[in-house]
């Protein structure tokens, strides 16, 4: 079957393309912006990509068109597909019908931590010899790819609450029918789609209705909003993980630097290990992954041991370079809660060293000003904050950050931000770039500028 994918260079749709190719289909696709790394990954798989949405690409009529949720009515290629009555569906629907329908689906949902938790879970299953398939909204470093068909009944999917397609406004995750459902946490997000938190909770309630009675629901026992989902109706056994010691699975750090974790089940049986991550949010992610892996028959001790070999996820606190004792990180944080957790984790791991944040408020929710009131508080523990302000964010955005005082610098130009950063960074700084986009290549530009500066002084740079 010839499948043509519209919006193929997004992480999710690129993953769909890889899975369709692995299933033996001929796969082609198109996107408005064709650029690495996804374009490289797809072409390495032998998938032809067309830039743009010109209807002429339908001259060779595909058997089926898979439509990404970035496409809408009025797009010339969408209109051509409809006019010519070419069969089409959404990415989540195709995934459900062609990959997930006969698998033990382990779906990881929630506002924060989905990508890291799903990556941890996939790695735990792999390390335990279960060879799972997966589709994740990021690239787990242990696998080097965002999607894999897998060789067993188990399939891990990052279950996003964003809407499905222009013709299907349900959340993506209602298509997945998981046997094991993880809910990491819940708070308001995606203000461009959902009016308030209750609207999001309603979607999660629909997801809960799809989990079979003989399945398993794994939830954050410390999250009050998640508890509301269970109260609305649950027909499946529930396992709670907790940092407060009140769940079926509990976890804690056993050292001040958060380099060693201990996980214990309700019977008191425990396992511990050192790991490469840090932060209370990642401890929660780890507990969720360990609990979910139990539904696939992996013991707590096996799962915790696997975490000692977990290498993290690209763009999730990924240390990309160290230039003369200045550590540079790339992070996807774009919500006040994630920003606060990231800063707190760095402070714990590197006590006495400055944490410097470069932030691009790029998400639709952030641009709508929904998080204006909480953003300054989330940045309050950073020693310095450099913010690129998109043109659509006005003076009120600046006013809401004014409490940061002299520790704040706001820019309307990427290069000016890089220049000021270069001037103010000191040896020992932990510098993290936070954005859910490319951030104007500021991280790469700053790294190169520091490299040139230090080379002139006779020092060197190392890339992670």
pLDDT digit string, tens, across residues 350-405: 999 999 999 998 766 666 555 667 788 999 999 999 999 888 777 778 888 889 99
d(CA 276, CA 333): 19
pLDDT > 70 fraction of the chain, expressed in percent and rounded: 95
Picking from 56, 91, 126, the residue at the C-terminal end of a domain is 91
Q: What is the pTM (predicted TM-score) of this model?
A: 0.87
Asked if 169 and 295 sit in the same domain, the reply is: yes
Tokens at 97, concatenated: 């019908």
Same domain, 406 and 293: no
Residue 57 in domain: yes
Q: What is the pLDDT of residue 267?
A: 84
Burial readout 134-147 (b: 16 or more C-beta within 10 A, e: otherwise):
bbbbbbbbbbeebb
The sign of the dihedral angle between the CA atoms of 166, 439, 110, 338 is negative
Q: Output phi, psi for 109, to 5 deg.
A: -120, 175
- Using omega within 30 degrees of 0 as the cis cutoff, is the peptide bond preceding 16 cis? no
Q: Is the pLDDT of residue 29 over 90?
A: yes
CATH of the domain at 448: 3.90.190.20
Q: Are both 345 and 458 inside the same structural domain?
A: yes
- 236 and 126 housed in the same domain: yes
CATH of residue 269's domain is 3.40.1190.10
Distance from C-alpha of 281 to C-alpha of 264, rounded to nearest angstrom: 17
Residue 97 inside a domain? The answer is no
Separation of alpha carbons 434 and 438, rounded Å: 10
226-253 as b/e, with b when 16 or more CB fall inside 10 Å? beebbeeebebeebbbbbeeebbbbbbb
Q: Which helix (H) or strand (E) holds 261?
A: strand 260-265
State which residues form the domain around 41: 2-91
Same domain for 193 and 294, yes or no, is yes
Domain count, the chain: 3
Asked if residue 313 belongs to a domain, the reply is no
The answer on 123 and 21 residing in a single domain is: no
- Give me the count of residues in the chain: 464
Mean pLDDT value of segment 315-334: 88
Condensed to tens digits (0 to 9), the pLDDT of residues 231-264 reads 999 999 999 999 988 899 999 999 888 899 999 9
Q: Are residues 180 and 300 in the same domain?
A: yes
Q: Are residues 234 and 325 in the same domain?
A: no
Q: Are residue 39 and residue 165 in the same domain, yes or no?
A: no
308 pLDDT band, cuts 50/70/90, is very high
Q: Are residues 108 and 87 in the same domain?
A: no
* 280-294 and 114-127 helices, crossing angle to 10°: 50
């Amino acid at each position: 079957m010839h499948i043509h994918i519209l919006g193929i260079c997004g992480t999710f749709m690129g993953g769909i393309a890889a899975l369709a190719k692995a299933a033996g289909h001929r796969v082609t696709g198109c996107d408005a912006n064709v650029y690495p790394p996804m374009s490289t990954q797809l072409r390495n798989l032998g998938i032809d990509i067309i830039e743009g949405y010109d209807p002429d690409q339908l001259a060779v009529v595909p058997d089926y068109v898979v439509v990404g949720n970035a496409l809408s009515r009025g797009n010339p290629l969408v209109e051509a597909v409809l006019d010519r009555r070419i069969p089409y569906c959404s990415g989540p629907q195709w995934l459900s019908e062609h990959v997930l329908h006969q698998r033990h689906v382990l779906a990881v949902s929630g506002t924060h931590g989905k990508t890291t938790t799903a990556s941890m879970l996939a790695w735990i299953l792999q390390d335990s010899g279960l060879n799972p398939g997966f589709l994740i909204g990021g690239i787990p470093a242990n696998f080097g790819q965002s999607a894999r068909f897998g060789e067993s009944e188990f399939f891990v999917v990052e279950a996003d609450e964003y809407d499905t397609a222009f013709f299907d406004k349900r959340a993506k995750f209602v298509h997945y029918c998981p046997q094991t459902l993880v809910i990491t946490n819940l708070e308001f997000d995606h203000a461009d789609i959902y009016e308030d938190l209750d609207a999001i909770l309603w979607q999660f309630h629909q997801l809960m209705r799809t989990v079979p009675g003989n399945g398993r629901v794994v939830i954050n026992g410390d999250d009050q909003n998640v508890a509301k989902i269970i109260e609305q109706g649950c027909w499946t056994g529930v396992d709670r993980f907790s940092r407060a010691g009140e769940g079926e699975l509990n976890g804690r750090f056993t050292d001040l630097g958060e380099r060693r974790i201990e996980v214990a089940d309700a019977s008191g049986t425990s396992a511990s290990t050192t790991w490469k991550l840090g932060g209370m949010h990642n401890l929660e992610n780890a507990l969720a992954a360990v609990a979910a892996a139990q539904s696939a028959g992996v013991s707590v001790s096996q799962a915790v041991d696997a975490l000692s070999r977990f290498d993290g996820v690209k763009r999730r606190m990924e240390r990309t370079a160290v230039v003369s004792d200045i550590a540079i990180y790339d992070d996807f944080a774009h919500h006040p809660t994630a920003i606060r957790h990231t800063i707190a984790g760095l402070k714990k791991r590197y006590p006495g060293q400055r944490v410097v944040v470069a932030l691009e408020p790029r998400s639709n929710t952030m641009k709508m000003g929904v998080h204006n009131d909480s953003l300054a508080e989330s940045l309050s523990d950073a020693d310095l904050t450099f913010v690129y302000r998109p043109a659509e964010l006005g003076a009120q955005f600046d006013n809401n950050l004014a409490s940061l005082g002299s520790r704040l610098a706001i820019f309307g130009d990427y290069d000016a931000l890089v220049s000021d950063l270069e001037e103010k960074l000191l040896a020992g700084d932990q510098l993290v770039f936070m954005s859910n986009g490319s951030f104007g290549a500021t991280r790469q530009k700053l790294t190169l500028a520091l490299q040139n500066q230090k080379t002139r002084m006779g020092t060197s740079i190392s890339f992670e």
